[in-house]
Structure 1
Amino acid sequence: MSGCRVRLSFGPARDVVLVHGTARMLTREELPKEVGDAFAAKDGWDPREDHPSYVFFQVTPQVLQAWGTVAELAGRTLMRDGKWLV
């Protein structure tokens, strides 16, 4: 998989972060050691040491939007074409 389009959404309906971008799949060998180490330290679980079926994805954001209420909709786009607007 290389450069597939993705849309990720985080948070509940009234406090949303929406990311549009591209993703590519990484094997555990391709995952940078410092990224895997940081994940394991924060989560307390290291998928690199678990079942070999786990895969990893590198997401490159192109558009990032965030809002909590209708009043915030006008300024919700924080990144466009991979460049921060704020």
Structure 2
Amino acid sequence: MPTTTIEWVQLASAAVFPLVVLAVIINRRASGKGIGVRLVQFTAAAMVVPGVVILATGGYIGGETSAALIGAFIGYLFANIGNFDKSE
């Protein structure tokens, strides 16, 4: 059982992984839609941040690396936001 705040944060972050997968499966079954680009982006986005949190709080990566990964993630997230609703 977790005893420190860092362990609780790591446990909560690790719990996100199966919850995201379960939510995606339930959503896709309920909506009848397939797997698209936006779903893949959402799934990656929902798993990168908790993964970085777990690695950073566990001491496996440093603060600079964490900042670089989060910065790259933000850049990836907003790279094509202007083209999101354009029809071809």
TM-score interval w.r.t. the shorter chain? under 0.3
Larger helix fraction of residues: 2
